[in-house]
Structures are given as structure tokens and as C-alpha cells.
Amino acid sequence: MERSNSEMMDGNVKSIDTIEKIDILGMSLESLQKKFVEIGLKKFNASQVFDWLHNKLVFDFDEFSNISKKDREILKKRFYVAKLEFKTHQVSEDGDTEKFLFELKDKRLIESVLISHKNRHTLCVSSQIGCLIGCDFCATATMTYERNLSISEILLQYYYVQKHLLQCGEKLGNVVYMGMGEPFLNYDAVLGSINMLNSPKGQNFSKRNFTISTSGIVNGIKRFTENENQINLAISLHSVRDDVRSEIMPINKRWGVKQLKEALLDYQKQTKNRITFEYILIDDLNCEPEDARELAGFLNSFSCLVNLIPYNPVGGKPYKTPSKQKQREFYKLLKDKNVNVTLRETKGQDIAAACGQLKAKKQMDSSQNVQIN
């Protein structure tokens, strides 16, 4: 919340100018309607405002033309829209990957990545500033963890890129929570942002087009199993051997492969959803024939898709990308075991936007300075 500039008080009663402002973008339509009635606005005004914010993607109260000037002044005194300031935009050489750097109100930085393929656009959003998980192969892990993002800060990544695409007459098709941070360590804001985007009065974006990727937060998976059966689930796996996985993913020391598998089997039993497993191929670590056989054995219990991702180099890390031949051999071993598997082509590596490479920093000066607030 924000506090209004004026601090006039009469005894113990605060004037309207001292009331803490509410982040309006993070409010559901139902909570907005309730609040509007509480402060003397009409319930139908809440639907109008919600439409401006979440459908028309207009964030300046003065532009809400169907709201009276008097009521717009009340909005400005009672609410604020979270700040997301565009800083830089990079496009990969093949044009299929775009990376956006944003600055938040507290001057911290986050990155989002847009991946396009045959007019199908997928946005990879961040859920935290930095990450607490500390996966050793990941650039985000080299950042200092700062904080979770709010519902609004997650939404604004989507809204900025959606407006960017609408200028070309196109729209987002999928949203993946695979950017900076561990989504299940910011569970409420992540699910809150998805529910907001799913709202029929807003973007009406199908839950089937969202994917949440987790490093293996078992209590988050269990909560997700209880609460959601439409949103897709992806698991950053990278090894099914506890010693290897613990070496590169410290979270495995808290929840080992056996516990992770049990939670995922229960998830699949309850939801009937296919699980996506992400497996980064790191030379001399997890892509030998024996690794493929153990992985196939682990996957036999699941209805799943496995994405094999060649390691994308991160400065200061000792890991290497396996040869193309080694990648293909690993893929073939899984295919021969009847595993539903894809070998992903590296995208966005030239602008450090590939899997595991996000690390928010100001890459270049920008001629643009577009602010969403």
C-alpha cells in the first residue's frame, strides 16, 4: 500500500488524504466491488474500472472516460497502480526471442522473455527478484534474492508484452512461469495473477494455457494438487540420482527424488494431467547412457513429456554443453524406451535469454522509456 502525501489528522480520525492507498491492479473484481461500495462508489463502477485495467490495459485513472471526474478523484486518493518501467528490449538474431528488462518502483530489476514460433507467442514471466533455490547451473542463482513479486508486478509483465504484440495485430498464446524465481515460493501471488488473467471480465486467458515450473517444492506441489486441476505443471528435474541432483539443485537435500516422485504421482492421480519434465543436458554430469536409462525408469510411472535442453553457458560456471551427437544419442535412448521426448533447439542464447540465463541487469541504454502506471 501507498500513503497519500497529505497527513492531516483530526484527533484519532484520519482524513481521506492519509488513508493508505490500495494496489488496485491486484484486486479481484469481487473485492473491488466490495471496496467501491464501502467507500461510496457504485458497484457497477468497479466493473467499469476493472475493464479499463484488465481488458483495455489502460492504467491512468484520468483516462477512464466513463467514470465521472469526481469519482476519478476518489480513485486517485484511494488507489494506485503498481509501477513497471520498461528499460531495455533485446531481440535475438533469428528474431524468435525477445527479452524485456523492467524496473520496479523500488528500482529493482526483473526480466521477461517472449518466444515466438509460427505466430504462436509464449511469454516467460518472473515471479521473484532473484531466487532462493540456488541451482548451480542457473544465472539467476548468482543474483541476491530480494523479494517476491506482487500480483500486480507479475500481471504488468504480461500486460506490457501483450500491448507490444497488439501493435502488430497479434496476441499471447501461452504464459509460462519459468523466469526469475521459484513460483511455488510465491504461491499466492502466482496463482492470484493467473486467476486475474483468467477472469472473463479481463483477458479471459484459459488456465490451460498457463504452465508453472517448479524445482521440486513438494509442499507447493501438494497444495497445487488440492487447489488446481487445469494449470499445467512442469518440473525442473535434471537428474533422477540424488547425489547428482543435490549437487546442482540444493532443494533436493530438502525433498529428494523419492519424495518428489510420490508427490507427482499423487498430483497425476488427482488431476489426470500430463506433467512436463525439464532436463538440462550437462556434459560429464547427467547425459551418459546410464543417466538416460535411469531417467526412463523414473518416467515409466508417468504420463509425461520430457524436454531435453542443452546447457546454456553461464559466466563463471564450470559446466559444458554436450556435443550435438551426445545430445542426439541421449534423445534416442529415451525414444527407444518409449519416452515422449523432445530435444529443444536453443533459442535466445545470443541475448542471454535462454533457459537458465536470466540475470536482471541493464544491458544497454534504451531510446525508449515507457512506463506502465
Q: What is the spatial distance between Cα 339 and Cα 216, in angstroms, rounded to a whole number?
A: 21
- For the packed helices 324-336 and 289-299, what is the interaxial angle rounded to 10 degrees? 40
| Alpha-carbon distances of 58 from 149, 241, 269, rounded to whole Å | 21, 49, 42
Specify whether 355 is catalytic.
yes
Q: 25-31 long-range contacts, Cβ below 8 Å, gap at least 24?
A: 25/53, 25/54, 25/59, 25/81, 25/82, 25/151, 25/152, 25/155, 25/156, 26/82, 26/150, 26/151, 26/152, 26/155, 26/192, 26/196, 28/195, 28/196, 28/199, 29/199, 29/201
Consecutive H or E run containing 1? none
Q: What is the spatial distance between Cα 179 and Cα 127, in angstroms, rounded to a whole number?
A: 7
Q: What is the spatial distance between Cα 69 and Cα 75, in angstroms, rounded to a whole number?
A: 10
The b-or-e profile of 308-344 (16+ CB within 10 A means b, else e) is bbbbbbbeebebebbeeebbeebbebbeeeebebebb
Catalytically annotated residue among 131, 135, 138, 355: 355
Q: What is the spatial distance between Cα 68 and Cα 254, in angstroms, rounded to a whole number?
A: 55
Is residue 231 within 8 A of residue 212, CB to CB? The reply is yes
Catalytically annotated residue among 103, 111, 182, 278: 111
- Residues annotated as catalytic (active site), given as ranges: 111, 355
